[in-house]
């Protein structure tokens, strides 16, 4: 359940409406639960796409900087872009550790 339900419930808070997960868990109306679950599933797919785009851009930034020799003496390297969605930055950062 953690890998199936968890990301979908959490997606509401990351890229949609944070109350959706709680509403899904407490509703007694099957139709309402199904509607919320479909919406959360769509938000989770959106979150995955946003996450993939941010990761790709971050890797491109770092590879470009490494190719230009800008990282040779850097003790710490960060990728950043003001356009990146705040709801996925932590997921991307946590999942990626590479040497450049």
The residue ranges of DSSP E strands in 17-91, in sequence order, are none
Domain spans, the chain: 5-95
CB 87, CB 54: distance < 8 Å: no
pLDDT digits (tens, 9 = 90+) for 15-64: 989 999 999 999 999 999 999 999 999 999 999 999 999 999 999 999 99
pLDDT digits (tens, 9 = 90+) for 69-79: 888 787 888 89
Cα 20 from Cα 9, distance rounded (Å): 7
Q: Structure pTM? A: 0.83
């Amino acid at each position: 359940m953690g890998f199936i339900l968890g990301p979908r419930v959490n997606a509401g808070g990351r890229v949609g409406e944070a109350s959706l997960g709680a509403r899904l868990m407490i509703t007694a109306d099957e139709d309402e639960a199904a509607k919320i679950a479909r919406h959360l599933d769509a938000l989770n797919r959106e979150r995955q796409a946003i996450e993939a785009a941010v990761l790709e851009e971050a890797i491109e930034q770092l590879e470009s900087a490494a190719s230009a020799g800008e990282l040779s003496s850097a003790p710490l390297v960060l990728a950043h872009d003001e356009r990146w969605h705040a709801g996925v930055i932590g997921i991307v950062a946590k999942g990626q550790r590479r040497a450049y």
